[in-house]
Amino acid sequence: MKKWLNYLPTIFILSIVLSLVFYSSQGSTVQMNYTQFEKIVDEVDFKKSSMTISSTVIHLEGTYEQNSKTVGYKVIVPRTEKNIEKLEKSLQRNGGKLTVEDPNQGSVWISILSQIIPFLIIAVFFYFMFAKMGGGGNNKAFEFAKSKARVESNVKVRFKDVAGCEEEKEEVKEIIDYLRSPKKFTDMGAHIPKGILMVGPPGTGKTLLAKAVAGEANVPFFSISGSDFVEMFVGTGASRVRDMFKTAQKSAPCIIFIDEIDAVGRQRGAGMGGGNDEREQTLNQLLVEMDGMTDNAGIVVIAATNRPDVLDPALLRSGRFDRRVTVSLPDIKGREAILHVHARNKKLASDVSLANLAKRTPGFSGADLANVLNEGAILAVRKNEAKVTMTDLDEAIDRVMMGPAKKSKKYTEKDKILVAYHEAGHAVIGLKLEDADMVQKVTIIPRGDAGGYNLMTPREEKYFHRKSEFIAQITGLLGGRTAEEIQFGEISAGAVNDIEKLTEIAKNMVRVYGMSSLGPIQYADPQGNVFLGRDYTKGSDYSAGVAAEIDKEVRAIVDECHENCRKILTENKDLLDLIANNLYEHETLTNEEITNLMNYGQLTDPNVETSEEEEKPEQEVVQVPEIPETSTGVDQKDLDDAFNELTKKKD
């Protein structure tokens, strides 16, 4: 039936064309009255005529020849014996053919049907068109409560396609064994968890891991988003939950995957100004289906969220989501494995080291790493390269973290040297402070909202951070601002992002981690997001006096780090000037080049021998002139003279 409906528009168009042809063919026929026919009946030669005699009139139609042209005619003549005799003679004169039709042979019905059929075709066409667009109404009303879950019967994803989460794979292997052979579990008296809640930051592979479970078990995979349940009409979501589990029971054993379950599984009665009836009814139905009066044997529910703190407690109790699997950000080993998975279809050059790439991407999720390789491939295509090089991937990391380089944005000479000293300050702290992060790359090319960019990675990845490491992070973030103070005697607004980060670290040290003289007392909820209806009206956990003490402790930590930062930069002023000069000249320095500047005072290692072909003429490094200091800082006139001298040297 549906295939026939697809041809309906074509049939409609053909009927219109045929009708037009029919009526156009009739357009050459002359409709005469009796008087006009009387004038020509003795003057023209009739070729072919048809005569239908009824009780009162005679219907004539046919063709005649006049002035060497064939003309069609139609006429109605009164029925008399005289007219019948006259017409028989006239129409058959000079070889004309006359056909007498019987008026009782159904020609009337044919005439009526020929006029009705086009209108019937048009009516049927519009009826089915409206029904297909939703005008049917009744059918759509029943489909509105149907589940929107998408079903994949043959999932191709396997565990080999999921990297960087080996422990998480171990947690879900029992699910695979149960779906493959549930009898050995029931014989032992064990029952598999009815639900698995996957928790973790965005992009860590929760959905991919759920698909891999279905692929390894070779069972149908029902996937739906939490927002697909919630509609404007109360009760729709509950109906869709019932329909989803009813459909899944027919395909059991199977997996139902609910992505972003916090959209429908939020705590009941926690909304501002009252609850959400539709969402709460949907949640109630989900609770019943998972562990209620019905038995859904063979159905495993896997849900994913990055906000487990807002879920309803009834959803997390045993018997519903029995097991929680935390999918964390991958470590260095996991990142390398993820890069190998996503590099399968990439043409990589021989200089590409995925191990080094993994070291440079701490804190990246699986989705971020896939994006890095994809951006590198796009850059290689843009440059018309045969393979993706390490330079392309290096630029791809910067693009993912900070955005594309704004090479068209030009600094003034004053701004350029200011940014160079700012970034050099960060680099010196990273080199000289033991617990600070390692400097991987420094550039003064603008990216995103940042005037410069300093890529620093931890010396080793840790799960727990010591107080000294937090102090070192704050000191490193103060390096840029402090370098501006030492060199120019004034500060710029370029450190706004650094200040935001170090303030957050200092507050957490005092309020969350208990790393201050206030002792091991937590004065803040460690979860950062506010859940309206539960946290919005929640009062402070401490008094105004304690708040003042917290402010003092935060200020003391930052002041101590500031003084230490100033001391390190002052003691290493020559290294600060050297890095700033080279940054001003070359705009970008790598980890190797910065290390060579610290050890040998130049960008290259003098102990590494190079062939004559590889030797390049040494570039002159523009030295930043000394700026005289006064007791009150730097005079504006001296600053202008110094920059004028610098510009002349560069020219």
Sorted by where each starts, the structural domains of the chain and their CATH numbers stand as: 2-114 (no CATH), 150-326 (3.40.50.300), 332-402 (1.10.8.60), 413-600 (1.20.58.760)
Q: Which residues are annotated as a binding site for Zn(2+)?
A: 422, 426, 498
Mean pLDDT of 321-328: 87
Identify the CA nearest to 123 among candidates 267, 285, 15.
Answer: 15
Using the predicted structure, report yes or no on whether residue 487 has a pLDDT greater than 50: yes
d(CA 233, CA 254): 29
Which H/E stretch holds residue 502?
A: helix 496-511
How large a percentage of the chain has pLDDT more than 70? 76
Residue 76: what pLDDT?
Answer: 86
Mean pLDDT of 95-116: 67
Helix, strand or coil, per DSSP, at residue 152: strand
Lowest-confidence region among 322-336, 547-561, 618-632:
618-632
Q: Which of 423, 484, 553, 593 is catalytic?
A: 423
Residue 649: what pLDDT?
Answer: 47
Q: Which residue has the higher pLDDT, 584 or 540?
A: 584
Mean pLDDT of 565-593: 89
Mean pLDDT of 520-531: 65
d(CA 65, CA 43): 10
Q: Which residues are annotated as a binding site for ATP?
A: 200-207
Q: Which residues are annotated as a binding site?
A: 200-207, 422, 426, 498
Residue 630: what pLDDT?
Answer: 39
Identify the CA nearest to 355 among candidates 376, 330, 375, 334.
Answer: 334
Mean pLDDT of 590-596: 84
Residue 510: what pLDDT?
Answer: 92
Residue 285: what pLDDT?
Answer: 84
Lowest-confidence region among 77-91, 206-220, 263-277:
263-277
Verify whether residue 645 is a known catalytic residue. no
What's the whole-model pTM score? 0.65
What angle in degrees, to the nearest 10, is found between the helix axes of 544-571 and 413-432? Answer: 100
Which residues, other chains included, contact 235 with Cβ-Cβ below 8 Å and sequence gap of 6+? Answer: 278, 281
Mean pLDDT of 308-334: 86
Lowest-confidence region among 28-42, 214-228, 235-249, 352-366:
28-42
**What are the structure tokens assigned to 154, written together?**
């043959």
Mean pLDDT of 486-515: 90
Distance of alpha carbon 423 from its chain centroid, rounded?
34
Place of tokens 């005649």: 64
pLDDT in tens, 167-195: 888 888 888 888 887 777 778 877 777 78
pLDDT in tens, 396-435: 888 888 777 776 666 778 888 888 899 899 989 988 888 8
Using the predicted structure, report yes or no on whether residue 386 has a pLDDT greater than 70: yes
**C-beta pairs of 95-102 under 8 Å, 24+ apart in sequence:** 96/45, 96/46, 96/47, 96/48, 96/49, 97/47, 97/48, 97/49, 98/46, 98/49, 98/50, 98/51, 99/48, 99/49, 99/50, 99/51, 100/50, 100/51, 100/52, 100/53, 101/50, 101/51, 101/52, 102/52
Using the predicted structure, report yes or no on whether residue 210 has a pLDDT greater than 70: yes
